[in-house]
Amino acid sequence: MSQDPPACRREWLLGLSGIVLLPAGRMWDVVIVPEPLGLRVAGVLEELPLLRPGPVLWDAQRCQVGFFVSPGTSARCRCTGVRCVGDGAWITAPAPQRRWGPLRWLISPDGSGTLNRSEVLADTLHRAAGRPVLALERDPRYC
């Protein structure tokens, strides 16, 4: 996730804030949704059978939840009330084991590279919100 993993680990372990800036767009993109919707969706994703969810970050200070998805997703997003960030954006991230404080993981990255599936996330957001909030255009490389 980081361009300098050893420096990232040092900051997480020894830094004053325990938070690092990570570049989006290379290893993952992030779909950012309002807190109430994000908390509902994160709970649903954890309970889906046969689906291991990817990382979900809760920023209680900004009242938003970020779902880590495959890179390139932000270029395909058509959103209503949510933001998709990718190449050129930066995300503040606490250490993977951090489950407390204003910036914490609801679902921690496990080191395997597992991400949330964009289509599953779009459908779950739609069901939780009662309306479409995230539409994904088809990727012409795979049509």
- pLDDT tens profile 1-48: 555 666 656 655 655 567 888 899 999 999 999 999 999 999 999 888
Contact 31, 61 (CB under 8 A): no
Q: Looking at the predicted structure, is the pLDDT value of residue 98 above 60? A: yes
In which band, very low, low, confident or very high, does the pLDDT at 136 lie, cut at 50, 70 and 90? confident
- How far, in whole angstroms, is CA 127 from its chain's centroid? 18
pLDDT at res. 130: 85
Calculate ∠ Cα 88-93-95, nearest 5°.
145
CA nearest neighbour of 129 among 29, 44, 68, 21: 44
pLDDT in tens, 51-94: 889 999 999 999 999 999 999 999 888 877 889 999 999 999 99
Higher pLDDT, 79 or 118: 118
CA distance 111 to 134: 27
48 by Cβ neighbours in 10 Å (0-12 / 13-18 / 19+) ranks as exposed
Query: Which pair of tokens denotes residue 84?
Result: 């998709």
Alpha helices in 1-143 (DSSP H): 5-14, 35-47, 73-76, 118-129
Q: Looking at the predicted structure, is the pLDDT value of residue 124 above 70? A: yes
Total-model pTM: 0.84
Query: 10 Å Cβ neighbour count for 21?
Result: 11
- In sequence order, the 6+-apart residues with CB closer than 8 A to the CB of 57 are 30, 65, 66, 68, 91, 93, 103, 104, 105, 106
